[in-house]
Amino acid sequence: MRHKLIGQLNSLRRLAAAVALLLVASAGAAGAPALKAGVFEPPRQAPDFSLASSTGRELKISDYRGKVVVLNFWTTWCGPCREMEPHFEKIAAQFARETNVQFYAVNCDDDETLVAPYLSEEKAKTAVLFSDGLDRFLRVDSFPTTVILDRTGKIAFRMDGFDPDTIEKSLNEAITRTLH
């Protein structure tokens, strides 16, 4: 019974966060520039947000100001997301010594209980966060989608989908450009 109640409270918390994000998004969406896949955009401020990790820790994006943050939005049911993950992990490993870059896989499943078995099966190495409505706020409507936030928290790069032949080069260049 307690587990069910906690699950319902978590669902209500996520619903409230999503409603708040949608209200903010609808207030500013009219003049927002459209983002194009795989290109640098004039930086615009990402909202300050907090996301729960798959380990229960909470990440607040403002705590990462001064660092480049790479977010890969995915779902457990997405075939291309499964194909993207090894590339994302390889890129994260290439930047492992760079203390000013953080990598997160942001899960967008409606049912978070699907994530733990998926992670156990896939042996993913990238830290996983739950989107809690951030995907809707950023208008992520295809998976995978990768967003890079610069050191000030502004969206510097976005890629909807991916090409397995060019993803590593594209993201390496985007991260390097955002760092410098």
Active-site positions? 78, 81
33 to each of 42, 99, 138, how far by Cα in Å? 9, 31, 12
User: And the tokens for 133?
Assistant: 């409505």
Longest CA–CA separation in the chain, Å: 52
CA 35 to chain centroid: 15
Neighbouring C-beta atoms of residue 7, cutoff 10 Å: 12
- 36 to each of 12, 26, 30, 48, 98, how far by Cα in Å? 33, 20, 17, 22, 27
